[in-house]
Chains A and B, each alone.
Chain A
Amino acid sequence: MDTVRIAVVGAGVIGLSTAVCISQLVPRCSITIISDKFTPDTTSDVAAGILIPHEYPEAVVQRDLRSPVLNCQLRGSCRCWCSPGIWIFQSIPTEQAPFWADVVLGFRKMTEAELKKFPRYVFGHSFTTLKCETLIYLPWLEKRLKTHGGLLLHRRIEDLWELQPSFDIVVNCSGVGSRELVGDATVFPVRGQVLQVQAPWVKHFIRDGSGLTYIYPGASQVTLGGTRQKGDWNLSPDAEISRDIFSRCCALEPSLCRACSVKERVGLRPNRPSVRLQKEVLARDGQRLSIVHHYGHGSGGISVHWGSALEAARLVSECAQALRTPALTSKL
């Protein structure tokens, strides 16, 4: 087999970064991204993209933030920037310093003077992390793919088998869509509504306790959030929720009341008990299709995407090698 034909289903941060990693790792392959939604209409586009590591200390997380790619290259190409801010608590957290304290920059406890601004809060962390501006990052990933001969196709896939025999390997990065696409009942949406506003004077992020309420300043807007509505598939913004988000955020940063140009957006976080990073082979009527599943990152997609994508690309590389090894070619 000469050129391995690879299809990546899904064009959010997981699909695009996985495709880029594949193009770097797998020799002699063609990559086609197939999705019904592309930036700026993906779930990733709604996310603020602030890199605050996921709750679970997966190895990919640590690797991700320390990765020289993120620290230098991405910064240099204007897609990921240093973002200073605070994480404040109304009661002292059991964990005084999270496992990722040394992964971010300058992690320290907030001083009394800094906490004075927030009368109902008794404790806080101050640190600088990275923020990935998805509205710029996703188009950049797309451009990189196209430069390396990748194709982007707008199409809704109802069944992965549709891609047989046109493709040899399918990488399933369909996020919350996997529930229907591959019948994974363990995937469920956690609906998040946000407001994207113009408030360029706000330079620091503020994350409140559990992270339900947050203010994440970006390059083109400030993202105010949020909600966590389990099992809610509704993609239309709810006006009352918007009012509530605005009020919660203004309580933390009163100057936001002067923010303008408010856009409401909704994203469905692809929750799953754990990320599905797994190979599978579909067989039908004597034909085979190699699948690599890569979905279910919940609220941590952007935080872990690069390390996760490298892992997925490795699995794809294994599939490609297997397909290229004559001894393993099926003679059914």
Chain B
Amino acid sequence: MQSGRDAADAMRVVLIGAGVIGLSTALCIYERYHSVLQPLDLKIYADRFTPLTTSDVAAGLWQPYLTGPSTPQEMEWNQQTFDYLLSHIHSPNAEKMGLALVSGYNLFREAVPDPFWKDIVLGFRKLTPRELDMFPDYSYGWFNTSLIIEGKHYLKWLTERLTERGVKFFQRKVESLEEVARGGADVIINSTGVWAGALQPDPLLQPGRGQIIKVDAPWIKHFILTHDPKSGIYTTPYIIPGMQAVTLGGIFQLGNWSEINSSQDHNTIWKGCCRLDPTLKNARIAGEATGFRPIRPQMRLERERLRVGSANTEVIHNYGHGGYGLTIHWGCALEAAKLFGEILEEKALSRMPPSHL
């Protein structure tokens, strides 16, 4: 790989989307390639920034789906993310990053097989009968220690790191990838989450609408997630303590684009969570929000070469992480950075004089 490219050959990178996927990918690419590419011209375009992104609505608990990952690669990316976050847990910056250890319960009405991530989290074990006594509606469950990575804090922290490094942020609504290509981008990173379909039709991508209530209940130190395999993930109550407030949830509506907080969903959440932990009735409601999980049978993390006019623009798609974006973000950022590296190599090779072997 050549180093010290001159200004004419500077790589102009535009990253679209400023949720956790976008910002972490930007940071990863910057860290890896800013010394190789001088200058690395990295811009971030987004119409929404924290605290208005999907990542800001998520409770931030690290936990993949219960059913296996789509690919062994995804298993690795989950592990990489957990390890990366865990390595920061003991740093004085943990709180600023929105990072904290948290333990808790996964509850079921019948015995289920252990999840694929049981050796990634800490201290995974089954619940004892006495523990299950605390949850009369459930007869089986797990206890483990995991992490909170809270969107609001984490995105703010990522934004600060990127700004320090000279990455520029622009608020704009991008209408198409071509528009960005025509604007002069050599590489576009598409991390637009649930709205990726607006840039390029993707029938596999759908919103998995979620609504949450934030409460002040500082006595709650555990997460409690309930599961009903029949009704599906996120459809039954969950209680997740964060850095300050506690997130209550249990809503998942595929295909629903309404961003308005529904009072019916509010009641469903409130009833379900108070039944799970009756002490919640003394909690003060601090807020409510709706977000769209970017649901896709499998996330899209791949390259695409776009022909715009007479030029080729490289696109790296990184979207469709469903309800596990925070859980898998760092592994995906590393992978996207790897794809970026391939692009750089190809471009370098295309500029090298023919071999004289």
Contacts and interface: CB of A to CB of B under 8 A. Distances in A.
A323 interface: no
Most-contacted residue by chain B among A71, A117, A128, A199 (CB, 10 A): A128
A78 interface: yes
Nearest to A258: B95
A111 B86 CA distance: 15
B119 to A, nearest CB: 9
A255 B94 contact: yes
Contacts of A76: 278-279
Given A255-B95, A258-B96, A106 B143 contact: yes
Nearest to B102: A203
A106 B130 CA distance: 9
A219 interface: yes
Nearest to B282: A78
Nearest to B89: A117
A106 B220 contact: no
Contacts of A201: 94-95, 100, 148, 243-244
A219 B219 contact: yes
A108 B131 CA distance: 14
Interface in A47-91: 71, 75-76, 78, 81-84
A81 B221 contact: yes
A203 B221 contact: yes
B180 to A, nearest CB: 38
A117 B241 CA distance: 22
B282 A106 contact: no
B95 A78 contact: no
Contacts of A82: 134, 221-222
A189 to B, nearest CB: 30
A131 B278 CA distance: 17
Contacts of A275: none
A217 B90 contact: no
Given A81-B219, A81-B279, A201-B95, A110 B89 contact: no
A114 B103 CA distance: 12
Nearest to B241: A203
Contacts of B128: 105-106
B103 A84 contact: yes
Interface in B168-194: none
Interface residues of A, number: 33
**Chain A contact residues: over half helix, strand or loop, or mixed?**
mixed
Contacts of A105: 128, 130-131
Contacts of B148: 201
A202 B102 CA distance: 8
Most-contacted residue by chain B among A82, A219, A220, A255 (CB, 10 A): A255
Contacts of B279: 75-76, 78, 81
A221 to B, nearest CB: 9
Most-contacted residue by chain B among A71, A78, A203, A219 (CB, 10 A): A203
Contacts of A258: 92, 95-96
Contacts of B267: none
Nearest to B283: A78
A294 to B, nearest CB: 29
B301 interface: no
Interface string B245-280: 000000000000000000000000000000000110
B208 to A, nearest CB: 27
Contacts of A204: 101, 103, 145, 221
Contacts of B282: 78
B210 to A, nearest CB: 23
A262 to B, nearest CB: 15
Nearest to A202: B100
A254 B95 CA distance: 10
Contacts of B221: 81-84, 203-204, 217
Interface in A11-46: none
Contacts of B218: 200, 218-220
B92 A257 contact: yes
A108 B241 contact: no
Contacts of A126: 123, 145
B90 A117 contact: yes
B100 A255 contact: yes
Contacts of A283: none
A254 B221 CA distance: 19
A218 B221 CA distance: 9
Given A200-B244, A254-B91, A111 B123 contact: yes
Contacts of B134: 71, 82
A7 B102 CA distance: 45
Given A203-B241, A204-B221, A110 B90 contact: no
A83 B102 CA distance: 11
Contacts of B123: 108, 110-111, 114, 126
A106 B125 contact: yes
Interface in B185-240: 218-222
B100 A254 contact: no
Interface in A128-143: 128, 133
Given A83-B221, A105-B131, A203-B100, A114 B145 contact: yes
Interface in B86-141: 89-96, 100-103, 122-123, 125, 127-128, 130-131, 133-134
A112 B100 CA distance: 19
Interface in A213-233: 217-220
Given A200-B243, A255-B92, 15 more contacts: A71-B133, A76-B278, A78-B282, A84-B145, A105-B131, A106-B127, A106-B131, A108-B123, A111-B122, A114-B123, A126-B123, A204-B145, A220-B218, A255-B91, A255-B100
12 contacts: A78-B219, A105-B128, A105-B131, A111-B123, A113-B122, A114-B122, A201-B95, A201-B100, A203-B222, A204-B103, A220-B218, A255-B95
Q: List 10 tightest A-B contacts by C-beta distance, closest first.
A: A219-B219, A201-B100, A255-B94, A201-B243, A84-B103, A203-B221, A81-B219, A255-B95, A254-B92, A258-B95
